[in-house]
Structure 1
Amino acid sequence: MTIKTAKLSDPAVRAFVTAVNASDRDSFRKLLTADATMADDGDDRNLDDWIDREIFSSNGHLDVDNESNGGRSLLAHYRNDTWGEMVTRWDFTVEDDGRISRFETGQA
């Protein structure tokens, strides 16, 4: 069963999912610290290249199935025009100022 985005527990993660699903690159970037990093399937990736390729130029969309770790870990169906749909995990590091300094994703 999908969790409505508005019901996600962590405000930063909720804003992240909202920005992805709205294809709102500006809001997305404002959620991240200046030195934010990310990994996909355990490998660190270039953040700007990855978000352009995997989210914004390919119509990425997250449907969250489950959350844990205070809302900072998600199990979700992720789809985009490149890869189709897959079950993925997302883990977020959120700083005291409410911005995301790291996220890790990959197939679940």
Structure 2
Amino acid sequence: MTIQTTRLSDPAVRGFVTAVNAHDRDAFLALLAPDATMADDGADRDLAEWIDQEIFSSNGHMEVDNESNGGRALIARYRNDTWGEMRTRWDFTVDEQGRIARFETGQA
């Protein structure tokens, strides 16, 4: 069963999912710490390049099925125009200012 985005526990993660689904790059970038990093399937990637390819230029969309770790770990059905839909895991590190310092994703 899908969790409504507005019911996600962690404010930064809720904002992340909202920005992805709204295709709002400015809102997305505002959620990230200045030196934010990310990894996909265990490999560190260039954040700007990855979000452009996997989210914003390919109509990325997340439907969250499960959250844990206080809302900072998600299982979601993620789809985009490049890869179609897949079951993915997302783990977030949120800094003291409430911004996302790191996220890791991959197939679940």
Aligned to 1:58: 58
The letter of the residue matching 1:42 is G
Unaligned runs of 5+ in 2: none
The share of aligned pairs that are identical, in percent, is: 77
1:7 alignment counterpart: 7
Q: How does 1:1-108 map to 2 (within 5 A)?
A: 1-108=1-108
SS in 2 for 1:38: strand
Q: After TM superposition, where is structure 1 displaced by more than 6 Å over at least 4 residues in a row?
A: none
Task: Note the alpha carbon deviations across 1:19-69, whole angstroms, 9 max, x for none.
Answer: 000000000000001100000000000000000000000000000000000
SS in 1 for 2:77: strand
Distance 1:47 1:96 in 2: 21
Unpaired runs of at least 5, structure 1: none
Q: Which TM-score applies when normalising by structure 2?
A: 1.00
Alpha-carbon distance in structure 2 between the residues aligned to 1:33 and 1:95: 8
Determine the C-alpha separation between the residues in 1 that align with 2:57 and 2:41.
20
Return the offset for 1:96: 1.0
How many residue pairs end up in the alignment?
A: 108
AA matched with 2:41: D
TM-score by length of 1: 1.00
